């Protein structure tokens, strides 16, 4: 069994009687990229802050790297395990990127020699090295976000927690940040990613949790799509005549619809049923142009769950 780096059980948080996070239960395995997807005000940042021990919980449990967020001694250990990229970069603008990273490396109690080597490798990897001594105030938004990522990694943490890392960035800068996250994923980092960008979640995350105060669904992106919308098989024919439709009906699919020369089937077990249906169509004289499987997109899943449709 893979080690759970982050685990929450019925984690809840209320502010002045208003519930921000309600009964959240999920886990993130070592090396997994877990995306918390949800609209603004869904409780994503509150969840991250509880996990990073920045704010307390109202009820429930959470552990990070085996340490409980309730245990004051464990809190310091949790902070060392995590590198946080907050929704606002929060850099010291008067400092250079290098000095920002040096300062945080020291605060994270990293040995001096390791800080300098980490800074150099991170800044080179993120294409910041040439401007390492320039004040951060002169950087573009994308560069600042890269510095924030480098800051989160300067102590070489086991877990990276990122809150909307590409929000407010132009497409090119957002792409660079996403590529950086993909590289970190390849390195085997455990990443908890808050986002409301569906495309980003789909591209980067192994597992997605859809949050709207409560966790509405959790699973692999593909599984989520299938579990919400099922799996449809679309058979495109040269001509969908009565004999062919009759043959399809004879195979007893859960549901089927005919639209022009295309037959869409809802099947319980497509791997077993599709070959049988294809054989029946061919036996009935049907000429098949293509057979494809379709399902709802992550966007469909998200909107269906968030809107409560």
Partner 1 sequence: MRFWKSWLIARKEFDFIRIKKSALGISFGLPIGLGILLPLITYLEITRKKVPIEAVTPLMGSFAFYFIIIAALIPVYTSVSSIVVEKIERSLEPLLATPTSDREILVGKYIATFVLTIVGTYIGAAIFVTLMDTLTRSSIGYFYFPNTAFDIALFAAAPAASIFSTAFGVLSSSRVTTIQSAQSLSVVPLIPLIIIYLTGELDLINLNDTSILAYVAIGLAVAAAIVFQVSTAVFDREEILTRWK
* Helix or strand holding residue 209 (H, E): strand 207-212
Binding of partner 1 by 112 (CB under 8 A): no
Q: Where are the alpha helices (DSSP H) in the chain?
A: 44-51, 72-81, 97-107, 112-125, 141-153, 171-186, 198-204, 221-229, 242-250, 270-283, 298-306
Count the site residues for partner 1 by CB under 8 A. Answer: 30
Reduced to 3 states, what is the DSSP secondary structure of residue 294?
strand
Structure tokens at 160: 């990276």
Nearer to partner 1 (CB atom), residue 58 or residue 262: 58
Residue 147 C-alpha from the chain's centroid: 21
Q: Which of 15, 114, 170, 249 binds partner 1 (CB under 8 A)?
A: 15
Binding of partner 1 by 201 (CB under 8 A): no
Residue pair 250/280 in contact by the 8 Å Cβ criterion: yes
Contact map string, positions 129 to 168, toward partner 1, x by CB under 8 A: -------------------x--x-----------------
Pick the stretch among 98-106, 138-146, 203-211, 267-275 that binds partner 1 (CB under 8 A). Answer: 98-106
How many angstroms separate the Cα of 252 from the Cα of each of 239, 246, 301? 21, 10, 27
* Helix or strand holding residue 159 (H, E): strand 159-163
Nearer to partner 1 (CB atom), residue 48 or residue 305: 48
Rounded to a whole number of angstroms, the distance between the first and last alpha carbons of the chain is 36
C-beta of 76: minimal distance to partner 1 in Å?
4
Give helix then strand counts, H and E, for the chain. Answer: 11, 14
Nearer to partner 1 (CB atom), residue 78 or residue 244: 78
Nearer to partner 1 (CB atom), residue 33 or residue 161: 161
Pick the stretch among 35-43, 74-82, 242-250, 263-271 that binds partner 1 (CB under 8 A). Answer: 74-82
Q: Which of 82, 126, 201, 224 binds partner 1 (CB under 8 A)?
A: 82
Nearer to partner 1 (CB atom), residue 108 or residue 302: 108
Binding of partner 1 by 80 (CB under 8 A): yes
* Helix or strand holding residue 60 (H, E): strand 59-64
Q: Which of 10, 59, 88, 246 binds partner 1 (CB under 8 A)?
A: 88
Nearer to partner 1 (CB atom), residue 100 or residue 232: 100
Structure tokens at 285: 């004289």
Nearer to partner 1 (CB atom), residue 148 or residue 198: 148
Binding of partner 1 by 104 (CB under 8 A): yes
Phi, psi of 245 (to 5 degrees): -60, -40
Structure tokens at 291: 């057979």
Report 30-59 residues binding partner 1 (CB under 8 A): 49, 52, 54-56
Contact residues for partner 1, defined by CB under 8 A: 15, 49, 52, 54-56, 76-77, 79-80, 82, 84, 86, 88-95, 99, 103-104, 106-109, 148, 151
């Amino acid at each position: 069994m893979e080690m759970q780096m982050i685990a929450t059980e019925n984690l809840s948080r209320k502010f002045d009687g208003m519930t921000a996070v309600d009964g959240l239960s999920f886990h993130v395995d070592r090396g997994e990229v877990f995306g918390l997807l949800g609209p603004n005000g869904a409780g994503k940042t509150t969840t991250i802050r509880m996990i990073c021990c920045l704010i307390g919980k109202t009820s429930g449990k959470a552990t990070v790297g085996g340490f409980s967020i309730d245990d004051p001694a464990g809190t310091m250990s949790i902070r060392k395990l995590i590198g946080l990229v907050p929704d606002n970069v929060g850099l010291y603008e008067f400092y250079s990127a290098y000095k920002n990273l040096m300062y945080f490396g020291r605060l994270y109690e990293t040995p001096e020699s390791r800080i300098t080597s980490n800074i150099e490798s991170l800044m080179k990897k993120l294409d910041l090295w040439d401007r390492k001594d320039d004040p951060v105030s002169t950087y573009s938004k994308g560069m600042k976000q890269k510095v924030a990522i480098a800051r989160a990694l300067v102590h070489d943490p086991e877990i990276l927690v990122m809150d909307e890392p590409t929000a407010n960035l132009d497409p090119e800068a957002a792409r660079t940040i996403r590529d950086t996250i993909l590289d970190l994923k390849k390195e085997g980092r455990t990443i908890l990613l808050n986002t409301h960008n569906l495309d980003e979640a789909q591209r980067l995350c192994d597992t997605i949790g859809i949050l709207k105060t409560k966790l509405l669904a959790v699973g692999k992106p593909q599984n989520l799509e299938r579990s919400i919308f099922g799996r449809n098989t679309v058979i495109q024919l040269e001509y969908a005549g009565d004999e062919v439709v009759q043959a399809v009906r004879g195979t007893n699919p859960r549901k089927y619809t005919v639209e022009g020369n295309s037959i869409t089937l809802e099947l319980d077990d497509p791997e077993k049923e599709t070959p049988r249906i294809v054989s029946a169509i061919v036996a009935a004289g049907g000429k098949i142009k293509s057979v494809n499987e379709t399902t709802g997109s992550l966007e469909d899943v998200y909107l269906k769950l968030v809107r409560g449709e």
